[in-house]
Amino acid sequence: MNKKEIRSYNYIELQEEMAAMSQKKFRAAQVYEWLHVKLADSFDEMSNLPKELRERLSTEYDIGMLTMVERQISEQDGTNKFLFGLSDGYVVESVLMRYQHGNSVCISSQVGCRMGCVFCASTIGGLTRDLSTAEMLGQVYAIQKLTGERVSNVVVMGTGEPLDNYDNFRKFIDMISDEHGLNISQRNITASTCGLIEGIRKLADEKLQITLALSLHGADQQKRESLMPVARRNELADVLAACDYYFARTGRRVTCEYSLVRGVNDTAADIAGLTALLKHRKFHLNLIPVNPIKERNFIRPSKQNARNFQNKLEKNGINVTIRREMGLDIDGACGQLRRKHIVEQ
């Protein structure tokens, strides 16, 4: 018998499940609280439920607990990187970063990735499968339980393309921000996309309050394609038009992520190109000195060169920052820890 994944049921759906089991309505509230507030990993923990109900839930449903395979803690900044095992034996990465404004967790949305970005370890080996809503929630829940600390910000920027797993990702947003669960504000949720136009426009039409982060990485179509094979699917102008639409519909400023690679996209021509693209848009440009991975030959610019790149863009009127580097001593780049685990198997 295939068990149903109970953590993927939202509050209304769980009420319907309990009603179908001839349970009183308040039982759904109790079960939901155990799953999404108390973060129970087993039905045996649900002490205010009758024994018969706990046994039936255990027979028919699976909570989908993640297993911690590995945990790395940075000696430089306290960043935690986790490798979690899924029920089918696959593994995904998640990261906890501590800031003055609260704890931020970066989660994965897929096992592997088919976007093909050449500077990213996540794409090596391609896409294995999508993560369920429960598996995305489970990463946040597991980290909060392991650390005993409240998660206040969620970044869907780990392995995978969230808009390539749209329905599960969309439900994740609703459930992580649900007042019956952890109730994390949508304004504290950021999702990164390679620029899947249909997904961006769908998100815009739903008028969510999350921050959309576009993986830009190149100031023109040709350079973007050389770094991101998925860019061949859409012209950069059309991708930016979709982001403009997102801003117009939601009022939420779009962030453009830009991995700086020495000698590849950090030239004077790139500064001019970025200025032309962003000068008249209320976007924020986030520069990310590339994290070197052994499978690629990319080199990060020096700190001074990165600052010079930033300063010149600022003089051109671009709202730009350099992302604070965290976890460099613990396989900090996206996909590195998972890749290391796969190679060692």
pLDDT digits (tens, 9 = 90+) for 65-85: 899 999 999 998 889 999 999
What is the pTM (predicted TM-score) of this model? 0.93
Percent of the chain with pLDDT over 70: 92
Quote the pLDDT of residue 344: 56
Domain regions of the chain by residue span: 4-62, 67-344
Quote the pLDDT of residue 165: 98
Calculate helix-pair angle for 11-20, 25-36, nearest 10 degrees. 130
Tokens representing 7 are 């953590």
Cα gap 265→219, rounded to integer Å: 8
Residue 12: which pLDDT band, with cuts at 50, 70 and 90?
A: very high
Catalytic positions, written as ranges: 93, 334
pLDDT digits (tens, 9 = 90+) for 162-209: 999 999 999 999 999 999 999 999 999 999 999 999 999 999 999 999
Quote the pLDDT of residue 334: 59
Q: Is the pLDDT of residue 336 over 80?
A: no
CATH code, 67-344:
3.20.20.70
Cα gap 219→179, rounded to integer Å: 40
Name the pairing type of β-strands 91-99 and 102-107: antiparallel
Task: Give the residue from 160, 248, 253 showing the smallest Cα distance to 204.
Answer: 248
In this prediction, residues 115-139 reach a mean pLDDT of 92
Task: Fold for 4-62, please state it.
Answer: DNA polymerase; domain 1 (1.10.150)
Quote the pLDDT of residue 226: 93
